[in-house]
A = this chain, B = another copy of it.
Amino acid sequence: MTSSTDSLDLDAASSALDVRLAARRGALTGHTSGLAAAFVQGNLAILPASLADDFRRYCELNPKACPLLGVSEPGDPRLTALGADLDLRSDVPRYRVWRDGELVDQPTDVGRWWRDDLVAFVIGCSFSFEHALLAEGIPLRHVAQGRNVAMYRTNLETQPAGVFRGPTVVSMRPLNAADAIRAIQITSRLPQVHGAPLHLGDPARIGILDIDRPDYGDPIDIRDGELPVFWACGVTPQAAIATARPPFCITHAPGCMLVTDLLNRDLLNRDLIAA
Protein backbone atom coordinates (compact mmCIF):
# COMPACT_ATOMS: atom_id res chain seq x y z
CA MET A 1 0.00 0.00 0.00
CA THR A 2 1.09 3.57 -0.70
CA SER A 3 -0.20 7.03 0.02
CA SER A 4 1.03 8.38 -3.30
CA THR A 5 -1.10 8.34 -6.46
CA ASP A 6 2.00 8.12 -8.65
CA SER A 7 2.22 4.34 -8.53
CA LEU A 8 -1.55 3.82 -8.72
CA ASP A 9 -2.03 4.30 -12.46
CA LEU A 10 -4.86 6.71 -11.74
CA ASP A 11 -5.25 9.72 -13.98
CA ALA A 12 -7.82 11.82 -15.83
CA ALA A 13 -8.74 8.83 -18.02
CA SER A 14 -9.49 6.53 -15.08
CA SER A 15 -13.02 5.39 -14.37
CA ALA A 16 -14.87 6.46 -11.25
CA LEU A 17 -14.83 2.82 -10.15
CA ASP A 18 -11.02 2.66 -10.45
CA VAL A 19 -10.73 5.67 -8.14
CA ARG A 20 -13.27 4.34 -5.64
CA LEU A 21 -11.61 0.90 -5.53
CA ALA A 22 -8.20 2.50 -4.95
CA ALA A 23 -9.66 4.54 -2.10
CA ARG A 24 -11.53 1.51 -0.75
CA ARG A 25 -8.43 -0.63 -0.46
CA GLY A 26 -6.51 2.26 1.12
CA ALA A 27 -4.14 2.79 -1.80
CA LEU A 28 -5.45 6.28 -2.65
CA THR A 29 -5.43 8.54 0.40
CA GLY A 30 -4.94 11.98 -1.20
CA HIS A 31 -6.89 14.46 -3.27
CA THR A 32 -8.98 13.52 -6.32
CA SER A 33 -8.43 16.66 -8.40
CA GLY A 34 -7.65 15.71 -12.00
CA LEU A 35 -8.62 12.04 -11.59
CA ALA A 36 -11.44 10.38 -13.61
CA ALA A 37 -12.15 13.63 -15.43
CA ALA A 38 -15.32 12.40 -17.15
CA PHE A 39 -17.05 11.76 -13.83
CA VAL A 40 -18.85 13.97 -11.35
CA GLN A 41 -17.11 14.41 -8.00
CA GLY A 42 -19.08 15.40 -4.93
CA ASN A 43 -18.72 16.95 -1.50
CA LEU A 44 -19.77 14.57 1.29
CA ALA A 45 -21.57 15.38 4.53
CA ILE A 46 -22.82 12.58 6.83
CA LEU A 47 -25.13 13.56 9.69
CA PRO A 48 -27.31 11.79 12.28
CA ALA A 49 -30.91 11.27 11.11
CA SER A 50 -32.11 13.71 13.79
CA LEU A 51 -30.45 16.54 11.84
CA ALA A 52 -30.94 15.15 8.34
CA ASP A 53 -34.34 16.67 7.64
CA ASP A 54 -33.10 20.14 8.52
CA PHE A 55 -29.93 19.72 6.47
CA ARG A 56 -31.86 18.45 3.47
CA ARG A 57 -34.16 21.46 3.73
CA TYR A 58 -31.14 23.75 4.03
CA CYS A 59 -29.73 22.31 0.79
CA GLU A 60 -33.06 22.57 -0.98
CA LEU A 61 -33.50 26.18 0.11
CA ASN A 62 -30.00 27.08 -1.12
CA PRO A 63 -29.61 25.07 -4.31
CA LYS A 64 -26.89 27.20 -5.90
CA ALA A 65 -24.55 26.75 -2.94
CA CYS A 66 -25.72 23.23 -1.95
CA PRO A 67 -26.85 21.37 -5.08
CA LEU A 68 -27.85 17.86 -3.92
CA LEU A 69 -26.59 15.03 -6.12
CA GLY A 70 -27.80 12.28 -3.78
CA VAL A 71 -29.04 11.45 -0.26
CA SER A 72 -28.71 8.02 1.38
CA GLU A 73 -31.28 6.10 3.45
CA PRO A 74 -30.62 6.27 7.23
CA GLY A 75 -27.92 3.76 8.22
CA ASP A 76 -27.42 2.50 4.66
CA PRO A 77 -23.79 2.91 3.55
CA ARG A 78 -24.77 2.45 -0.11
CA LEU A 79 -25.94 5.10 -2.57
CA THR A 80 -26.63 3.14 -5.73
CA ALA A 81 -27.92 6.15 -7.68
CA LEU A 82 -24.34 7.46 -7.69
CA GLY A 83 -22.57 4.10 -8.17
CA ALA A 84 -23.85 0.50 -8.06
CA ASP A 85 -21.06 -0.69 -5.74
CA LEU A 86 -20.53 2.60 -3.93
CA ASP A 87 -19.65 2.28 -0.22
CA LEU A 88 -19.90 5.55 1.69
CA ARG A 89 -17.69 4.15 4.49
CA SER A 90 -14.59 3.55 2.38
CA ASP A 91 -14.75 5.12 -1.08
CA VAL A 92 -13.57 8.61 -0.15
CA PRO A 93 -9.74 8.72 0.05
CA ARG A 94 -9.73 10.53 3.39
CA TYR A 95 -12.49 11.55 5.79
CA ARG A 96 -12.84 13.96 8.68
CA VAL A 97 -14.79 12.92 11.79
CA TRP A 98 -16.23 15.64 14.02
CA ARG A 99 -17.71 15.59 17.55
CA ASP A 100 -19.46 18.75 18.77
CA GLY A 101 -17.67 20.69 16.06
CA GLU A 102 -14.20 19.41 16.98
CA LEU A 103 -12.09 17.35 14.58
CA VAL A 104 -11.45 13.98 16.23
CA ASP A 105 -10.16 11.75 13.42
CA GLN A 106 -8.96 11.85 9.79
CA PRO A 107 -9.22 8.19 8.73
CA THR A 108 -9.20 6.68 5.26
CA ASP A 109 -12.18 4.51 6.22
CA VAL A 110 -15.07 5.30 8.59
CA GLY A 111 -16.32 1.72 9.13
CA ARG A 112 -15.55 1.94 12.84
CA TRP A 113 -17.46 5.26 13.08
CA TRP A 114 -20.52 4.12 11.14
CA ARG A 115 -23.91 4.17 12.89
CA ASP A 116 -27.42 2.99 12.03
CA ASP A 117 -28.79 6.54 12.06
CA LEU A 118 -26.34 8.19 9.65
CA VAL A 119 -27.58 9.93 6.47
CA ALA A 120 -25.11 10.91 3.74
CA PHE A 121 -25.49 13.99 1.52
CA VAL A 122 -23.51 14.26 -1.70
CA ILE A 123 -23.31 17.84 -2.98
CA GLY A 124 -22.12 19.05 -6.40
CA CYS A 125 -18.63 20.48 -6.70
CA SER A 126 -16.96 23.05 -8.93
CA PHE A 127 -14.54 20.49 -10.41
CA SER A 128 -17.35 19.58 -12.85
CA PHE A 129 -17.95 23.08 -14.14
CA GLU A 130 -14.23 23.79 -14.31
CA HIS A 131 -13.90 20.80 -16.64
CA ALA A 132 -16.63 22.30 -18.81
CA LEU A 133 -14.98 25.75 -18.85
CA LEU A 134 -11.53 24.36 -19.69
CA ALA A 135 -13.05 22.15 -22.40
CA GLU A 136 -14.49 25.31 -23.99
CA GLY A 137 -11.08 26.99 -23.96
CA ILE A 138 -11.72 29.32 -21.05
CA PRO A 139 -8.50 29.71 -19.05
CA LEU A 140 -8.62 29.27 -15.27
CA ARG A 141 -5.64 30.92 -13.64
CA HIS A 142 -5.70 28.95 -10.37
CA VAL A 143 -5.64 25.69 -12.36
CA ALA A 144 -2.77 26.90 -14.58
CA GLN A 145 -0.86 27.99 -11.47
CA GLY A 146 -1.62 24.78 -9.56
CA ARG A 147 -3.33 26.70 -6.75
CA ASN A 148 -6.55 26.22 -4.86
CA VAL A 149 -9.37 28.51 -5.97
CA ALA A 150 -9.90 31.74 -3.92
CA MET A 151 -13.03 31.58 -1.71
CA TYR A 152 -14.77 34.31 0.31
CA ARG A 153 -17.55 34.65 2.85
CA THR A 154 -20.13 37.14 1.51
CA ASN A 155 -22.91 39.28 2.92
CA LEU A 156 -25.41 37.09 1.04
CA GLU A 157 -27.08 35.15 3.87
CA THR A 158 -28.31 31.66 3.07
CA GLN A 159 -31.91 30.69 3.84
CA PRO A 160 -31.69 29.04 7.28
CA ALA A 161 -33.24 25.66 8.15
CA GLY A 162 -33.17 24.47 11.78
CA VAL A 163 -29.66 24.81 13.15
CA PHE A 164 -28.16 25.35 9.69
CA ARG A 165 -27.50 28.96 8.64
CA GLY A 166 -24.70 31.31 7.66
CA PRO A 167 -23.24 33.29 4.78
CA THR A 168 -23.01 32.14 1.18
CA VAL A 169 -19.37 31.30 0.45
CA VAL A 170 -18.27 32.01 -3.13
CA SER A 171 -15.33 30.96 -5.27
CA MET A 172 -13.76 33.58 -7.58
CA ARG A 173 -12.21 33.21 -11.01
CA PRO A 174 -10.79 36.25 -12.87
CA LEU A 175 -11.91 36.34 -16.53
CA ASN A 176 -11.92 38.89 -19.33
CA ALA A 177 -15.38 40.11 -20.32
CA ALA A 178 -15.80 37.85 -23.36
CA ASP A 179 -14.80 34.77 -21.34
CA ALA A 180 -17.03 35.87 -18.44
CA ILE A 181 -20.01 36.01 -20.80
CA ARG A 182 -19.22 32.52 -22.16
CA ALA A 183 -18.62 31.18 -18.64
CA ILE A 184 -22.08 32.43 -17.64
CA GLN A 185 -23.58 30.66 -20.67
CA ILE A 186 -21.79 27.40 -19.91
CA THR A 187 -22.35 27.24 -16.15
CA SER A 188 -26.02 28.22 -16.54
CA ARG A 189 -26.41 24.78 -18.07
CA LEU A 190 -24.89 23.06 -15.02
CA PRO A 191 -27.31 23.71 -12.11
CA GLN A 192 -26.24 20.55 -10.25
CA VAL A 193 -22.74 21.93 -9.83
CA HIS A 194 -23.51 25.49 -8.67
CA GLY A 195 -24.89 26.85 -11.98
CA ALA A 196 -24.45 30.44 -13.12
CA PRO A 197 -22.36 32.95 -11.14
CA LEU A 198 -24.01 34.91 -8.34
CA HIS A 199 -22.05 38.07 -9.04
CA LEU A 200 -19.35 39.66 -11.14
CA GLY A 201 -17.44 42.93 -10.88
CA ASP A 202 -17.16 44.97 -7.70
CA PRO A 203 -16.43 42.57 -4.77
CA ALA A 204 -17.69 45.11 -2.20
CA ARG A 205 -21.25 44.71 -3.54
CA ILE A 206 -21.37 41.24 -1.93
CA GLY A 207 -19.43 42.22 1.19
CA ILE A 208 -15.91 41.20 0.12
CA LEU A 209 -13.72 44.00 1.44
CA ASP A 210 -10.26 42.71 0.46
CA ILE A 211 -10.13 40.58 -2.68
CA ASP A 212 -6.44 39.85 -2.02
CA ARG A 213 -7.29 38.06 1.23
CA PRO A 214 -9.60 35.10 0.56
CA ASP A 215 -11.22 33.41 3.57
CA TYR A 216 -10.36 29.97 2.13
CA GLY A 217 -7.98 28.80 -0.60
CA ASP A 218 -5.28 30.84 -2.28
CA PRO A 219 -5.24 34.49 -3.46
CA ILE A 220 -5.15 34.94 -7.22
CA ASP A 221 -4.21 37.98 -9.35
CA ILE A 222 -6.90 39.92 -11.18
CA ARG A 223 -5.20 41.43 -14.21
CA ASP A 224 -5.95 44.53 -16.25
CA GLY A 225 -9.09 44.00 -18.31
CA GLU A 226 -10.39 41.16 -16.13
CA LEU A 227 -13.49 40.97 -13.97
CA PRO A 228 -13.72 38.82 -10.85
CA VAL A 229 -16.55 36.31 -11.40
CA PHE A 230 -18.13 34.76 -8.29
CA TRP A 231 -19.88 31.38 -8.06
CA ALA A 232 -21.65 29.88 -5.05
CA CYS A 233 -19.32 27.35 -3.46
CA GLY A 234 -19.65 23.96 -1.74
CA VAL A 235 -17.83 25.37 1.28
CA THR A 236 -21.17 27.06 2.13
CA PRO A 237 -22.75 23.88 3.60
CA GLN A 238 -19.46 22.97 5.30
CA ALA A 239 -19.45 26.40 6.99
CA ALA A 240 -23.09 25.92 8.02
CA ILE A 241 -22.24 22.56 9.59
CA ALA A 242 -19.20 24.03 11.35
CA THR A 243 -21.41 26.76 12.81
CA ALA A 244 -24.11 24.27 13.87
CA ARG A 245 -21.52 22.11 15.71
CA PRO A 246 -23.58 18.92 15.46
CA PRO A 247 -22.85 16.25 18.12
CA PHE A 248 -21.53 13.95 15.37
CA CYS A 249 -20.62 14.44 11.74
CA ILE A 250 -18.39 12.98 9.01
CA THR A 251 -17.17 14.93 5.96
CA HIS A 252 -14.61 14.37 3.20
CA ALA A 253 -11.16 15.83 3.84
CA PRO A 254 -10.52 18.94 1.69
CA GLY A 255 -9.95 17.94 -1.95
CA CYS A 256 -10.63 14.25 -1.25
CA MET A 257 -13.98 13.99 -2.98
CA LEU A 258 -16.43 11.17 -3.61
CA VAL A 259 -16.08 10.18 -7.28
CA THR A 260 -19.49 9.12 -8.63
CA ASP A 261 -20.57 7.25 -11.75
CA LEU A 262 -22.48 10.32 -12.98
CA LEU A 263 -20.95 11.75 -16.14
CA ASN A 264 -20.13 15.45 -16.25
CA ARG A 265 -21.61 15.59 -19.75
CA ASP A 266 -24.97 14.37 -18.43
CA LEU A 267 -25.21 17.34 -16.08
CA LEU A 268 -26.01 19.66 -18.98
CA ASN A 269 -29.48 21.06 -18.55
CA ARG A 270 -30.72 22.23 -21.91
CA ASP A 271 -34.00 23.62 -20.64
CA LEU A 272 -32.87 25.40 -17.53
CA ILE A 273 -32.75 28.94 -18.80
CA ALA A 274 -35.78 29.00 -21.05
CA ALA A 275 -37.21 32.51 -20.74
Choose the segment among A8-16, A162-170, A267-275 that binds chain B (4+ C-beta atoms closer than 8 Å).
A267-275
A184 at interface, CB cutoff 8 A: yes
Tell me whether B181 and A205 are in contact (CB under 8 A): no
A206, closest chain B residue (CB): B177
Docked complex Cα distance between A268 and B271 (Å) = 11
Digit string of A134-173 for contact with B (CB within 8 Å is 1, else 0)? 0110000000000000000000000000000000000000
A227 at interface, CB cutoff 8 A: yes
A201 and B177 in contact, given A136-B275, A275-B136 (Cβ under 8 angstroms): yes
Digit string of A223-251 for contact with B (CB within 8 Å is 1, else 0)? 00101000000000000000000000000
Choose the segment among A38-46, A50-58, A86-94, A191-199 that binds chain B (4+ C-beta atoms closer than 8 Å).
A191-199
Residue from B196, B197, B225, B275 within 8 A of A132 (CB atoms): B275
Task: Kindly list 19 other residue pairs between chains A and B, CB separation below 8 angstroms, not including A184-B184, A270-B270.
Answer: A177-B200, A177-B201, A177-B205, A178-B199, A180-B200, A181-B184, A181-B196, A181-B197, A181-B198, A184-B185, A185-B185, A185-B188, A188-B188, A188-B273, A189-B274, A200-B200, A201-B201, A202-B225, A205-B225
Chain A to chain B: the 7 pairs with minimum beta-carbon distance, closest first = A185-B273, A184-B184, A177-B199, A186-B275, A185-B188, A177-B201, A177-B200
